[in-house]
Amino acid sequence: MKLAVITDSSAYLSDESRGHDNLFVLDIPVVIDGVSYVEGKNLTAKEFYQKMEASSELPKTSQPSIAELEELLMQLEAKGYTHVLGIFLSSGISGFYQNIQYLKEEFPNLTIAFPDSKITSAPLGWMAEEAIKWADEGRSFDEILANIQIQIDGTSAYIMVDDLNHLVKGGRLSNGAAILGNLLSIKPILYFNEEGVIEVYEKVRTEKKAIKLLAEIVKEGTADKDYQIIIIHGNALDKAETLRDILHQDGFTGEIPFATFGSVIGTHLGNHSVAISFVPKV
């Protein structure tokens, strides 16, 4: 088996995994003030948040290119790949998953799987990296798919946003609710539900209480098995460090790495967001 793993640029990936010969990333452009950027090529995460803060309009994002994916599949087939795992941002926040399923029938010489990740960002990147690791270990395609499904079914992510206006612009909160929330210092906690859709989990008074709630969610949600915990932030390292300190105080001794929300997800969450995710270890 020669396996290619394909994901998209909403996934947070380590520098090491980005250099792997069998891992491929589809670009998701973000348009700021009429200029198109691709993070990692002509835009850094830091530059994105600076540009978004300075812009009077919310940046615009699109889906990955189906044509680019089809071209990549043709190239992989020509290079002798036999299997392809494509794992992309949740169908609950993008139509890309539904739109690409027909491609599995277009390449009879490739065994292709496109599972719905129901997630994005660091958990998505972790799944892609794990699939590459398992392939390098010589595991079968069926075993890799089964392991990925375990991770999909067991992954959770909860997000505290700082600027309620981004939720209004994204259609997830009414303007009146945002005004009231800002006046009352309300920090909504969002989460990915079982369908991979972002919903409001709870509205909390004050940022301090919201960060403590994130820590409590992790403690309860990871009690049954071993998980990889990842803290993700959008230009909010101080909040990420506070959350990790609370988790360590609560007895979490394993490594809790930081990741950043890139331009694709940062567009919808806004500046200074922080999140906690946990993915089952297989």
Per-residue pLDDT, 126: 97
Percent of the chain with pLDDT over 90: 66
Domain boundaries defined on the chain: 3-28+63-154, 156-280
Mean pLDDT of all residues belonging to the chain: 90
Say if residue 153's pLDDT is above 60. Answer: yes
Selected residue with higher pLDDT from 199 and 1: 1
Nearest to 282 by CA among 156, 141, 134: 134
Per-residue pLDDT, 169: 59
Residues in the chain: 282
Per-residue pLDDT, 108: 94
pTM of the model: 0.91
Q: Quick one: tokens of 170?
A: 């994204």
Nearest to 144 by CA among 111, 106, 184, 118: 111
Longest dimension (CA), the chain: 59
**Do residues 142 and 148 make contact, with C-beta atoms less than 8 angstroms apart?**
no
Per-residue pLDDT, 43: 87
- Sort residue 171 into left (φ over 0), alpha (ψ -120 to 50) or beta: left
Bridge partners (DSSP) listed for residue 6? 24, 86
Chain-centroid distance, C-alpha 215: 19
Task: Over range 160-188, report the average pLDDT.
Answer: 59
Q: Which residues of 196-213 are buried (b: 16+ CB within 10 A; e: fewer)?
A: bebeebeebeebeebbbb
Most confident of 19-23, 128-132, 222-226: 128-132
Nearest to 200 by CA among 212, 188, 187: 188
**Do residues 160 and 272 make contact, with C-beta atoms less than 8 angstroms apart?**
no
Per-residue pLDDT, 182: 53
Look at 38-52, 86-100, 215-229, 240-254 and tell me which has the smallest mean pLDDT: 38-52
Q: Quick one: tokens of 261?
A: 């929300």
Query: Which CATH number does 3-28+63-154 carry?
Result: 3.40.50.10170
Q: Can you name the CATH fold of 156-280?
A: Hypothetical Protein Tm841; Chain: A;domain 3 (3.30.1180)
pLDDT band at 199 (very low <50, low <70, confident <90, very high): confident
Do domains 3-28+63-154 and 156-280 share one topology? The answer is no
Task: Over range 73-100, report the average pLDDT.
Answer: 96
247 Cβ neighbours under 8 A, 6+ residues apart: 215, 218, 229, 256
Cα–Cα distance measured from residue 41 to residue 266, given in angstroms and rounded to the nearest whole number: 17
pLDDT band at 271 (very low <50, low <70, confident <90, very high): confident
Say if residue 13's pLDDT is above 50. Answer: yes
